[in-house]
Amino acid sequence: MNQKESKLSSHHKQEKSSSKTDHNHPATNGSNPDHHSSVKKAFREKPLLQRFRECSNKPRRRIEKPTVCTWNSEQLQALIKTFQEYEKAALDDVEPTSQEQDYQINAVSIEKTCVIYDHIGGTYRTKRIEIPLVSSLSFITNEKHHTSSSESPSLPNTPPALLSRSSSTSSISTTKSNTSTTSSKATTSGMKVKKKKNPFMKVYKKLKLKIANPEKNIAKPELIEKYFPNLKLPDDFVYILENERSSKTLPTAHNDNRCNCTSKCVKHECLNYLSQVECSSDCQCGSLCDNKMFTNMQYPNIVCFYSKGKGIGVKCNQPIIKKGEFITEYVGEVISIKRFEKRTSRKYHKSLHHYCMNLNENEIIDATWMGNIGRFINHSCDPNACTQVWSVNGYDKVGIFAIRDIMFGEEITYNYHFTIYDEVSEQQVCKCGAETCTGVIGKKPSSPSFSGSSDSEADTPDESENESEGSPKRSLAVSNVESNNEPSQKKQKIDESNSEDDDMSENDEYYMQFIDSE
Ligand SMILES: C[S@@+](CC[C@H](N)C(=O)[O-])C[C@H]1O[C@@H](n2cnc3c(N)ncnc32)[C@H](O)[C@@H]1O
pLDDT at 114: 37
Q: Which of 310, 357, 373, 376 to mutate to test the pocket of ligand 1 (most atoms within 8 A of CB)?
A: 310
Question: What DSSP assignment string belongs to 489-503?
Answer: SPPPEE-GGG--TTS
* Residues 459/444, Cβ–Cβ less than 8 Å: no
Identify the residue with better confidence: 99 or 345.
Answer: 345
Of all protein residues, the one whose alpha carbon is nearest to atom 11 of ligand 1 is 353
Highest mean pLDDT among 245-249, 351-355, 382-386, 493-497: 382-386
* Arithmetic mean of pLDDT, 52-64: 50
Name the residue at shortest CA distance from atom 23 of ligand 1. 310
Ligand 1 atom nearest the C-alpha of 379 is: 16
Q: Which contacts qualify for 299-305: CB closer than 8 Å, 24 or more apart? A: 299/326, 299/327, 299/328, 299/373, 300/325, 300/327, 302/227, 302/327, 302/328, 302/373, 302/412, 303/226, 303/227, 303/228, 303/229, 304/227, 304/228, 304/229, 304/231, 304/373, 304/376, 305/230, 305/231, 305/411
Pocket test for ligand 1, best of 235, 379, 421, 429 (most atoms within 8 A of CB): 379
Residue nearest to atom 15 of ligand 1 (CA): 378
Name the residue of 441, 464, 465, 473 whose CB sits within 8 Å of the most ligand 1 atoms, as the mutation to test its pocket.
441
Kindly tell me if the per-residue pLDDT of 349 is higher than 60. yes
313 C-alpha vs ligand 1 centroid, how far in Å? 8
Of the two residues 502 and 148, the one the predictor is more confident about is 502
Q: How confident is the model at residue 16 (pLDDT cuts 50, 70, 90)?
A: very low
The top-scoring range by mean pLDDT among 92-106, 141-155, 207-221 is 207-221
CA 310–ligand 1 middle distance (angstroms) = 5
- pLDDT for the residue 421: 60
Cα 199 to ligand 1 centroid, rounded to whole Å: 26
User: Ligand 1, closest atom to CA 311?
Assistant: 8
Question: Closest ligand 1 atom to the C-alpha of 479?
Answer: 1
Q: pLDDT value at position 350?
A: 64
Share of residues in the chain with pLDDT > 70 (%): 42
Residues enclosing ligand 1, CB less than 6 A?
Answer: 310-313, 352-355, 375-376, 378-380, 428, 430-432, 441
Residue 366 alpha carbon to ligand 1 centre in Å: 14
- Beta-carbon contacts of residue 373 (< 8 Å; ≥ 6 apart): 227, 299, 302, 304, 314, 328
Q: What is the mean pLDDT of residues 346-357?
A: 76
332 CA → ligand 1 middle, Å: 16
Q: Is the pLDDT of residue 373 over 90?
A: yes
Please write the tens of the pLDDT for every residue from 454-480.
333 322 222 232 333 332 333 345 666
Task: Calculate mean pLDDT across residues 174-200.
Answer: 38
Where does the pLDDT of residue 502 fall: very low under 50, low under 70, confident under 90, or very high at 90 and above? very low
Comparison of pLDDT for 76 and 25, the residue scoring more = 76
Q: CB-based contacts of 219: which residues, under 8 Å, 6+ apart?
A: 198, 239, 240, 241, 372
User: How high is the pLDDT of residue 501?
Assistant: 47
Contacting residues for 164 by C-beta, under 8 A, at least 6 apart: 83, 84, 87, 103, 105, 170, 172, 191
Examine the pLDDT at 406 and tell me if it is beyond 90.
Answer: yes
Q: Using the predicted structure, report yes or no on whether residue 294 has a pLDDT greater than 80.
A: yes
User: Which of 14-28, 99-113, 242-256, 263-277 has the least mean pLDDT?
Assistant: 99-113
Mean pLDDT highest for which of 16-25, 151-160, 381-390, 494-503? Answer: 381-390
Most confident of 54-68, 123-137, 429-443: 429-443
Taking only the tens place, the pLDDT of each residue in 312-348 is 999 999 999 999 999 999 999 998 888 888 877 766 7
Q: What is the mean pLDDT of residues 247-275?
A: 75
Q: Which one of 354, 378, 380 would you pick to mutate in the ligand 1 pocket, going by the greatest count of ligand atoms within 8 A of its CB? A: 378
Mean pLDDT comparison of 60-74, 151-165, 178-192, 499-513, highest-scoring range: 499-513
pLDDT value of position 323 = 94
Using the predicted structure, report yes or no on whether residue 254 has a pLDDT greater than 50. yes
pLDDT for 87 equals: 43
Task: Please report which helix (H) or strand (E) contains residue 141, including its range.
Answer: strand 136-141
Ligand 1 center to 96 CA (angstroms) = 45
User: Which ligand 1 atom sits nearest the alpha carbon of residue 475?
Assistant: 27
What stretches of 101-235 show up as alpha helix (H) in DSSP? Answer: 199-207, 214-217, 221-227
**Does pLDDT of 486 surpass 70?**
no
Work out the pLDDT band at 200, boundaries 50, 70, 90. Answer: low
**Alpha carbons 456 and 291: distance in angstroms, whole number:** 28
Rounded distance from Cα 88 to ligand 1 centre (Å): 38
The closest-lying atom of ligand 1 relative to the alpha carbon of residue 307 is 6
Mean pLDDT of the 190-211 span: 52
What's the mean pLDDT when you consider all of the chain?
A: 61
Residue 517 has pLDDT above 90, yes or no: no
Ligand 1 centroid, distance to 182 Cα (angstroms): 40
